[in-house]
Structure 1
Amino acid sequence: MTTEIIDYIKEAVRFRLINASGSDEVMDFPIFDFSADDAEFSKFVTENNFQIFEILILLLSMLPYIAPGFLTSILSEYFPDGSEFPEFGGVKGKHYRGIIPTGETAIFIVVGDNYRARNHIISIFNENHPFHQKSILSLGNVPVSEPKISGTLLLDIEYIELFVYGSVSKPKLSQDFPAQLLETEMVWEDLVLQDKTLDEVNNVLVWMDHNDTLLNDFNMKDKIKPGYKVMFFGAPGVGKTLTASLMGKHTGKDVYRIDLSLVISKYIGETEKNLSHLFNKARNKDWILFFDEADAIFGKRTGVRDAHDKYANQEVSFLLQRIELHDGLVILASNYRSNIDKAFTRRFQSIIEFESPGIPERLKLWTKYIPDAFVDESLDLVTISEKYEVTGANIVNIVQFACLQVLAAGDDKLTNEILITAIQREFLKEGRMV
């Protein structure tokens, strides 16, 4: 945020207070050419074609962050007794000692005492305006007995970071944001799946690459539902999470894995609230949402035996609605297809089975994961691939253990004997017969 922009909003506030206080000062309303400025804020309002009244409201919402004491000092300058001028609005925070601007503050700065224009400004805060649709700015909650417009101006934290610091940090896993960014050092060529599974995954990538063109260039927005919903099912360790991570990396999109332990609540209405906040946060972000072990929350609805069943089914119905309206890619992963409610599966564009790797896939995985420096001439990966049915996750664990044993022995070669011992250990860990 440049000093010129900060000075502009300060002058706009001063202009209104001069006129409202009856001061003898003479001042014209300030002018600033945002289209000629290269600050992130200026780029944003120019790209979105925001009008001056919308720009003023955005700047007002930022004042507590860029000029914390300004509103308090300038109001005291023109109205030493602030109670004489309730039209200015504003509230005091619990910890913030300055004035926090409200919707009333925005109306005053934008239109002054022009009451005919007041309703137009109020309409900016309804659901049809881009401020709401793009989750940019909203009004804080107020008691039932008070006007909604007296709520504080709440600018989304990501826009605050963008406008003030020039970049947006990735949201972190927390109670307020029950999702974690999935990242991997692997690349698309490292993904080993059976051909039919990889073909289906590639079909999802086709949607990611070309859906916007289909919707926008061929007038299909009214005919095709937004977003894409896909289900991954298969045993643990067969590549569901890795595939989701690589899909994001391959297309340049962030993948967030939903932490269901932070989403599900025993209190009525809290689960819906948590997920509603998540979907609102993901809206217009072009994220991929990945629900791992999704049957924990998207499972089959039950017969209604008591109040708990009733509200559990309401949660499922709510989730179904939010997923259906979400305009991005949503991936639900489960160990078993039958665990997911059929009301959800009917709405999936794709259902992809991740089978355990066959012999050719196991051989590729062994070859990829064992470092070349450890490969002994006697190592027979073909026979090992044919004899031992393991998943990709098993192979990672086995190779790590085996290579550490080699290093601990002061050697640098991985033999059949060491590798088979590591395989047997992995089988015993899972309770499987060797």
Structure 2
Amino acid sequence: MKEIPEYLSYLKMLINKRFDIYFNSDLDESSFEETLQTDLSFEEDERLSKYYNTREELVVLLLGLIPHINTIFMDQVIQEKINASGDFPQIGGVRGKNFRGFIPTGETALFILGGNLLEKRKRIMEIFNPDHFYIRKGILRLEDSPDGEPRMSGKIILSPEHVELLLLGKMNKPEFSLKFPAKIIETEMEWSDLVLNQETHSQIQELQAWIAHGNTLLQDWGMYKKLKPGYRVLFHGPPGTGKTLTATLLGKYTGKDVYKIDLSMVVSKFIGETEKNLANLLARAEKTEDILFFDEADALFGKRTNVRDAHDKYANQEVSYLLQRIESYNGLVILASNLKSNIDEAFVRRFQSIIHFPLPKVSERHILWKKAFPSKVKLHKDVDLLQLAQKYELSGAEIMNIVQYACLCALDAGKKTITSSFVVNGIQREYQKGGRIMR
């Protein structure tokens, strides 16, 4: 926002006009309306103009933005008009714990825009109602006021994401924390590196189509009246079959960030904390409609149990809440599980897509073996990749572990040739890890 000085000048002009009317009974409200509707050159700024439809909404938006761009602005304006240190109850405002400047409240907006006129004040209050797009889209809100105090005494809070968009023109990626227990997952691999059967591959293409055209379907084609927002999909199959890689590639090729949820930080033993953690996570993520990936989702979305005690009752209520909250997320949510049967049936019914990632067949394992080795090494003639694919039933991840082991053995031996013994030893290690017997 290059026009910040103009925004401040406009807001200062309005506040001064309100003070003039308040202290001078000869002035009427029409003079404030004229000031409010002053021609503004900065209205051509597309970044700002999409945030409001009326000048009243613009003023409320600026009040939420002021603390982030000029700490002493409100104090200076007030002190120029009254001989006090900003203590003018009619204009509201509070001080923060760390931030010592004036933080506008709902009462600040009421005083500036409505003065003492009840009808105007009522109209301004509607901007903070739940059905207003500021609230619905998570742009701006009133902080809850202490018990017994007027609602409009709450601080006007502009969401951090929209502060960044307005001031910087972009939204910074959320940092991993207790409030946002998720990390971006990325890959250097390409779609050509992912080996899937044809049916699974076709279903993945359907997901790409939704990411590309979902908003068009809902908004331009008017299906938002009939369809719920977002898209929910279950990836199920044995470990190492490409579930995480597929999610990562979907983000890479559709321009979306993929956040892998740390379930250990979401799930809590304390009543209400799991729901709170998930609500915070989704509220932050849906600002940009990022892809959310819940690996080993059984821990969070597992089957409800028969109610035997209060703990069971609460656990079932928790699952019900998670179901409702995930269903309202407007982006792509991917749940991954080794077993489809572990996921609560209520979730399964609401998935738009359920995609099975089976262990690769012989032909697919052969492709995986051929793709796995680095180009700088040679395979000894005793290494028969087709025979390996036919003889050993392995997942893609297991094959990569074996190749890594074989390459390290070659490096340790000072060679650039992979021998059969290196590979077989690697296979034996993978079988032992899984408790299988190698034949």
Alignment TM-score, normalising by the size of structure 1 = 0.92
Q: Conserved in 1, the CA contact under 8 Å of 2:51 and 2:58?
A: no
Q: Distance in 1 between matches of 2:363 and 2:113?
A: 68
C-alpha distance 67-217 of structure 1, shift in aligned 2 (>3 A): closer
Equivalence for 2:386 = 382
Q: Distance in 2 between matches of 1:408 and 1:67?
A: 61
Q: In structure 2, which of residues 267, 271, 276 is the aligned counterpart of residue 273 of structure 1?
A: 276
Q: In structure 2, which of residues 131, 134, 137 is the aligned counterpart of residue 134 of structure 1?
A: 137
Question: Partner amino acid for 1:380?
Answer: D
Q: Conserved in 2, the CA contact under 8 Å of 1:135 and 1:283?
A: no
Q: Percent identity?
A: 49
1:324-339 equivalent positions in 2, closer than 5 A: 324-339=327-342
Q: SS of 1:346's equivalent?
A: helix
Q: In structure 1, which of residues 107, 115, 131 is the aligned counterpart of residue 110 of structure 2?
A: 107
Deviations along 1:188-229, whole A, 9 cap, x unmatched?
Answer: 222111111112222222222333333334332222222221
Q: CA deviation at 1:243?
A: 0.8
Pair 1:425 & 2:429 matched:
yes
Equivalence for 1:407 = 411
Q: CA deviation at 1:21?
A: 4.5
Q: Distance in 2 between matches of 1:202 and 1:418?
A: 37
Q: SS of 1:180's equivalent?
A: strand
Q: Distance in 2 between matches of 1:49 and 1:421?
A: 66
Q: Distance in 2 between matches of 1:18 and 1:388?
A: 86
Aligned Cα RMSD in Å? 2.3
Deviations along 1:414-433, whole A, 9 cap, x unmatched?
Answer: 22222222222222233322
Q: Higher mean Cα deviation, 215-224 or 233-242? A: 215-224
Q: SS of 2:251's equivalent?
A: helix
Q: Conserved in 1, the CA contact under 8 Å of 2:91 and 2:108?
A: yes
1:5-404 equivalent positions in 2, closer than 5 A: 5-22=7-24, 28=35, 31-37=39-45, 43-81=46-84, 85-376=88-379, 378=381, 379-404=383-408
Q: Conserved in 2, the CA contact under 8 Å of 1:21 and 1:79?
A: no
> Runs ≥4 in structure 1, deviation > 6 angstroms?
23-27
Deviations along 1:51-75, whole A, 9 cap, x unmatched?
Answer: 2211111111111110011212322
Q: Conserved in 2, the CA contact under 8 Å of 1:288 and 1:328?
A: yes
Q: Distance in 2 between matches of 1:21 and 1:370?
A: 82
C-alpha distance 212-70 of structure 1, shift in aligned 2 (>3 A): closer
Deviations along 1:68-111, whole A, 9 cap, x unmatched?
Answer: 11212322332333576211111011111111111111222233
Q: Higher mean Cα deviation, 1-10 or 247-256? A: 1-10
Q: Distance in 2 between matches of 1:175 and 1:79?
A: 44
Deviations along 1:110-134, whole A, 9 cap, x unmatched?
Answer: 3333332111111111111111111
Q: Distance in 2 between matches of 1:369 and 1:80?
A: 77
Q: CA deviation at 1:340?
A: 0.7
Q: Conserved in 2, the CA contact under 8 Å of 1:362 and 1:392?
A: yes
Question: Partner amino acid for 1:399?
Answer: V
Question: Partner amino acid for 2:44?
Answer: A
Q: CA deviation at 1:266?
A: 1.3
Q: Conserved in 1, the CA contact under 8 Å of 2:6 and 2:42?
A: no
Q: Conserved in 1, the CA contact under 8 Å of 2:95 and 2:102?
A: yes
Q: Where does the alignment leave 5 or more consecutive residues of structure 2 unmatched?
A: none
Q: Where does the alignment leave 5 or more consecutive residues of structure 1 unmatched?
A: 38-42
Q: Distance in 2 between matches of 1:96 and 1:276?
A: 27
Q: SS of 1:177's equivalent?
A: coil
Question: Partner amino acid for 1:411?
Answer: K
Q: Distance in 2 between matches of 1:144 and 1:136?
A: 24
C-alpha distance 417-291 of structure 1, shift in aligned 2 (>3 A): same
Q: Conserved in 1, the CA contact under 8 Å of 2:78 and 2:86?
A: no
C-alpha distance 124-114 of structure 1, shift in aligned 2 (>3 A): same
Q: Conserved in 1, the CA contact under 8 Å of 2:52 and 2:58?
A: no
Q: Distance in 1 between matches of 2:323 and 2:403?
A: 41
Q: Higher mean Cα deviation, 273-282 or 2-11? A: 2-11
Q: Distance in 1 between matches of 2:214 and 2:70?
A: 43
C-alpha distance 21-394 of structure 1, shift in aligned 2 (>3 A): farther
Q: Distance in 1 between matches of 2:227 and 2:169?
A: 36
C-alpha distance 358-257 of structure 1, shift in aligned 2 (>3 A): same
C-alpha distance 189-15 of structure 1, shift in aligned 2 (>3 A): farther
Q: Distance in 2 between matches of 1:369 and 1:110?
A: 67
Deviations along 1:10-56, whole A, 9 cap, x unmatched?
Answer: 4433433344345999995554233423xxxxx23323553221111
Deviations along 1:334-391, whole A, 9 cap, x unmatched?
Answer: 1111111111111111111110111122222222221111132523211112222221
Alignment TM-score, normalising by the size of structure 2 = 0.91
Deviations along 1:123-176, whole A, 9 cap, x unmatched?
Answer: 111111111111111111211201111111111111112222332211122111
Question: Partner amino acid for 1:9?
Answer: L
Q: Distance in 2 between matches of 1:290 and 1:12?
A: 48
Q: CA deviation at 1:7?
A: 3.4
Q: SS of 2:417's equivalent?
A: coil
Alignment size in residue pairs: 429
Q: CA deviation at 1:9?
A: 3.0
Q: Distance in 1 between matches of 2:323 and 2:119?
A: 43
Q: Distance in 2 between matches of 1:196 and 1:83?
A: 68
Q: SS of 1:73's equivalent?
A: helix
